[in-house]
Amino acid sequence: MSKLHVVLNGIAAVMASLVAAAFAFTFLGLGVIAHEPRPAAGAETTQASPPPAVPASVARVERRPVELWSRHSGRLEAVERVDIRSRVAGAVLATHFSEGALVEKGALLVTIDPEPYRTAVERARSDIQAAQARLAFAVGERDRGAQLQGNRTIAGSEYERRVQAAAEAEAQLAAAAATLRSAELDLSYTEIRAPVSGRIGRLLVTSGNLVSAGAASPVLARMVSVDPIYATIDADEASVQRLLQSAGGMDGLQHVPARLDREAGESVEGHIQFVDPTVDPANGTVGIRVAFPNADGTLMPGQFAKVRLGEPRSEPAILVSERAVGTDQDKRYVLVVDDTDTVEYREVRLGAATGDMRVVESGLAADERVVVNGLQRLRPGAKVAPQMVSMETGRSLDRQASADGPATR
């Protein structure tokens, strides 16, 4: 029993040693864990690298003298518009024009049957001959009566009758002459001629039809003058006030540059012909009529017109390309690149357009750098790698310099 007791005591001692060692190891591990430094809240275990700079086309804001233009839209109108009607009644005998052709003033357009009017002329001439004969007889009787009255061989009343008869015969001759002129005028009206130079439309009444005379007669054709041609626009009150101030009043408006923009970048120069003296209270606009040359007849009445009106003198202005301007609801903005190549949102107020450039009235200064392409890809605060380009053309300055030729040393 003593040996068994000794063995059991040994086993108990070993177990106690193992428990103590395990407890000590656990306590030491907890202490190490408790004293191990932990990362601060919100801190990442690894530091993220900043995003790379985004390549961006950047140009410097320009300040230079420009001729400021205001843009307007309207319609082209003919200076003269005529309805061709017959001034005498009769049958349409012939037409002498091609529909849609350009005709000169005085050109024969339509012939009305002239025979009835030739007959009237011949009858009027016969009436004149009869009136002349009556006048000659009455004058002879009056002259003989004057001699007889001097000899006291006729009564005074008889002489007065002869004088009156001569006067009536003279009046009848004048009336016959007037009738002849009227008949000749009606005969001339049988040849309907172009009252103005211009383009004639389609024939509305063909040969063989009877037409009446005067304003109630049917329209035979319509004509519009071609050169010059008017563009009628409605300009806002503020634009008209600026024009008046720069031109020095109404009398100076004839010197205001005016251009009609056409396709393929072409333009036609004209001048202001008329400005309405009142402002339309319904919409706050002023009617302006601008005259443009149209010798080739390619501008047509009723055509949509894009008109630019300029100021008569040039003034320095801040200019940016249309490509550099963004729209944010009802605001206009640009993205400015500062000295650290960081993008900054800048609201601007735009003025008139000059070519593909816009005048900036406020929000920018000369020589500041702005992004001119890809505004939608950038956000305020972003870093960019500026690639300098021309503000006006958008081309790289290096490429443009090489295209212009080698630099002169």
Find the CATH number of the domain harbouring 232. Answer: 2.40.30.170
- State mean pLDDT over 364-371: 91
269 within domain boundaries = yes
Pair (237, 202) in one structural domain: no
13 within domain boundaries = no
- Burial string for 373-408 (b: 16+ CB within 10 Å, else e) reads eebeebeeebbbeeeebbbeebeeeeeeeeeeeeee
Pair (277, 342) in one structural domain: no
pLDDT at 176: 94
Pair (219, 238) in one structural domain: no
Environment class of 139 (CB within 10 Å of its CB; exposed 0-12, middle 13-18, buried 19+): middle
Pair (91, 217) in one structural domain: yes
Q: Are 65 and 184 in contact (CB under 8 A)?
A: no
In the chain, the number of structural domains is 3
pLDDT tens digits for range 146-198: 888 777 777 888 888 889 999 999 999 999 999 999 999 999 999 999 999 99
Q: Of 171, 199, 224, which residue is a domain's last?
A: 224
In the block, residue with structure tokens 């001759």: 173
Q: Are 11 and 18 in contact (CB under 8 A)?
A: no
Pair (175, 242) in one structural domain: no
pLDDT at 134: 92
Q: Are 290 and 230 in contact (CB under 8 A)?
A: yes
Kindly report the CA angle at 292 between 287 and 296, in degrees rounded to 5? 145
Pair (132, 157) in one structural domain: yes
- State mean pLDDT over 103-126: 95
pLDDT tens digits for range 229-264: 999 999 888 888 888 877 778 878 878 888 998 877
With a pLDDT cut of 70, the percent of the chain lying above it is: 83
pLDDT tens digits for range 380-398: 888 888 889 988 776 666 5
Report how far residue 385's alpha carbon sits from residue 399's, in angstroms, rounded to the nearest whole number. Answer: 18
Specify the DSSP element, H or E, that contains 241: helix 237-247
Pair (217, 292) in one structural domain: no
Pair (306, 387) in one structural domain: no
Model pTM above 0.85: no
Mean pLDDT of the chain: 82
- State mean pLDDT over 118-141: 93
32 within domain boundaries = no
pLDDT at 241: 84
Find the CATH number of the domain harbouring 363. Answer: 2.40.420.20
Q: Of 179, 209, 224, which residue is a domain's last?
A: 224
38 within domain boundaries = no
In the block, residue with structure tokens 């963004």: 326
pLDDT exceeds 50 at position 285? yes
Q: What is the DSSP string of 52-101?
A: PPEEEEEEEPEEEEE--EEEEEEEEEES-EEEE--SS-EEEEEE---TT-
Report how far residue 343's alpha carbon sits from residue 337's, in angstroms, rounded to the nearest whole number. Answer: 5
34 within domain boundaries = no
pLDDT at 64: 87
Give the domain range for residue 263: 69-79+226-310
The token pair at 336 is 């400015």
pLDDT at 105: 94
Pair (303, 322) in one structural domain: no
Pair (339, 377) in one structural domain: yes
Q: Are 224 and 276 in contact (CB under 8 A)?
A: no
Report how far residue 192's alpha carbon sits from residue 215's, in angstroms, rounded to the nearest whole number. Answer: 15
The token pair at 154 is 């006729």
157 within domain boundaries = yes
pLDDT tens digits for range 5-57: 444 455 555 455 554 544 444 443 444 344 444 544 444 545 566 678 888 88
279 within domain boundaries = yes
409 within domain boundaries = no
pLDDT at 34: 41
Pair (263, 349) in one structural domain: no
pLDDT exceeds 90 at position 374? no
Pair (152, 214) in one structural domain: yes
Predicted confidence band of residue 400 (pLDDT cuts 50, 70, 90): very low
The token pair at 122 is 């011949």
pLDDT exceeds 70 at position 76? yes
pLDDT at 4: 43
Q: Are 239 and 249 in contact (CB under 8 A)?
A: no
Q: Of 200, 224, 248, which residue is a domain's last?
A: 224
pLDDT at 182: 95
Find the CATH number of the domain harbouring 180. Answer: 2.40.50.100
